Amino acid sequence: MRALVQRVTQARVEVAGETIGACGPGLMIMVCAMQGDTEAAAEALALKIHKLRIFRDAAGKMNLALKDTSGTALVVSQFTLAADTRSGNRPGFSTAAPPAEGERLYLHFAEALRAQGVQVETGRFGAEMAVHLVNDGPVTIWLDTTA
């Protein structure tokens, strides 16, 4: 699985002008299930993000994890993280999991993060969404379970 993790002061996602999920301060997590991904990969990614030390401690160093800050998370499915841009000018997405599998693993990831004690809100799989966020730092981290 792939994730783009952003430390945020606030974030929200809207569908048709209605806010369906929000968080902050905490993490905005865009997630993409790739072909061949498993529930174990979703769980490993959730655990990694839960322990990722990207929040400031009292000395201003990135030394705290989401688990240490009581931060919240907004998880949004983002199949375009699978973009293959090696050839031509139009990205290919053939490495993304098929939609039904992608949705299942996206929801499993969100539940695995909740199981770590994180308050999690989500976007709506397959919907046209407007994502609003205030990146804190800015801090943006790319994670890939196959790397």
Say whether pLDDT at 141 is over 90. yes
Say whether pLDDT at 147 is over 80. no
What are the tokens at 121? 């809100």
Question: What average pLDDT does the structure give for the chain?
Answer: 96
Residue 79 annotated in active site = yes
Residue 9 annotated in active site = no
The structural domains of the chain, with segments of one domain joined by +, span: 2-144
What are the tokens at 39? 């529930």
**What local confidence, expressed as pLDDT, does residue 146 receive?**
77
Say whether pLDDT at 90 is over 60. yes
**What local confidence, expressed as pLDDT, does residue 127 receive?**
95
Q: Of residues 55, 79, 109, 122, which has the active-site annotation?
A: 79
- The answer to whether domain 2-144 has CATH 3.50.80.10 is yes
Nearest residue to 29 (alpha-carbon basis) of 57, 66, 56: 66
Q: Of residues 72, 78, 122, 145, which has the active-site annotation?
A: 78
Phi/psi at 114 (5° precision): -60, -40
pTM of the model: 0.95
Residue 85 annotated in active site = no
What are the tokens at 111? 């539940």
Q: Of residues 9, 19, 38, 80, which has the active-site annotation?
A: 80
**What local confidence, expressed as pLDDT, does residue 13 receive?**
98
Residue range 45-54, pLDDT digits in tens: 999 999 999 9
**What local confidence, expressed as pLDDT, does residue 25 receive?**
97
Residue range 106-136, pLDDT digits in tens: 999 999 999 999 999 999 999 999 999 999 9
Residue pair 27/9 in contact (Cβ under 8 Å)? The answer is no
**What local confidence, expressed as pLDDT, does residue 80 receive?**
95
The Cα diameter of the chain in Å comes to: 47
